[in-house]
Amino acid sequence: MARAYSDDLRDRVAAAVLSGRSVREVAGAFGVSVASAVKWSQRLRDTGNAGSRPMGGHKQRVLAGEQEWMLLRLEECPHLTVRGLAVELAGRGHRVSPNTVWSLLRKAGHSFKKKPVRQRAGPPAGSSAADAVEEVPGPA
């Protein structure tokens, strides 16, 4: 993953832009992009600090507060689909994709179970089973 530019470089670039030099001139002199020079100078002007913001970290799950409700809802109605849960959550004020719902369910220990293996199709009701294929003499 890419690293942020040093705070020292950011401060020097932003200070040079705020001192009146053109953004393009400063960007060329320090070897950074024009967009970075503009953003850093704006940040220094607005907040008093051109330093980098924290990278990475943990994002709180959107449906963290609804997990208990979802699990209870699945106990009440076990045939409910992930899409169905997403629609019900939209009614509760959370517009999320089915992938978001599935992610929370998987985290809670649910897994995708395929339907049991079905028996091979048999003859229709009231008729006899098909006869075996006869061998044909001679070359095929």
Helical pair 98-107 and 67-76, crossing angle rounded to 10 deg: 90
How high is the pLDDT of residue 30? 95
pTM of the model: 0.44
Q: DSSP letters of 43-85?
A: HHHHHS--PPPP----PPPTTGGGHHHHHHHHHH-TT--HHHH
How high is the pLDDT of residue 44? 92
Domain extents for the chain?
7-47, 64-107
Q: Kindly give the parts of the chain with pLDDT less than 70.
A: 1, 113-140
